[in-house]
Amino acid sequence: MALAILLAVILGIFAVRAVITTSDPYVKTVLSLKGNPAQGSAIFQINCAGCHGWQADGRVGPSLQGVSKRKSPYGLIHQVISGDTPPMPKFQPSPQEMADLLSYLETL
């Protein structure tokens, strides 16, 4: 119950920021899932750390410290799946993997 309210609040804030983008079924599914940051960290080490550093402190790619304060959840999901900013590749994580990754990015 409390979780449902929390989720509604988060989605509510989010809806104000990106009404159209959150209707994307993939994004919707990701945001409806509970991410596991430990799992997300493992996914990050395999796919992202080569560019962003083992501590996400930056190498080829920029440091991701505090990135969730600069980007909305949608912005983070979009960054991972869009391939809009080469050389960062376009990733196709399952919704659960993306939710895990998102929960890890939000710990940085």
List residues near ligand HEC by CB under 6 A.
Answer: 47-48, 50-52, 60-62, 64, 67, 70-71, 76, 79-80, 85, 87-89, 91, 101
- Residue 29 vs 79, nearer CB to ligand HEC: 79
Among 8, 9, 11, which residue's Cα sits nearest to residue 21?
11
Shortest distance, position 79 Cβ to ligand HEC, whole Å:
4
Shortest distance, position 42 Cβ to ligand HEC, whole Å:
12
- Residue 50 vs 107, nearer CB to ligand HEC: 50
4-13, long-range: CB within 8 Å, 24+ apart, which pairs?
Answer: 7/32
Shortest distance, position 88 Cβ to ligand HEC, whole Å:
3
What's the distance, CA 98 to chain centroid? 6
Cβ atoms within 10 Å of 3's Cβ, excluding its own:
8
CB within 8 Å of 41: residues ≥ 6 apart: 104
Shortest distance, position 38 Cβ to ligand HEC, whole Å:
15
Among 89, 35, 39, 32, which residue's Cα sits nearest to residue 61?
89
- Residue 9 vs 17, nearer CB to ligand HEC: 17
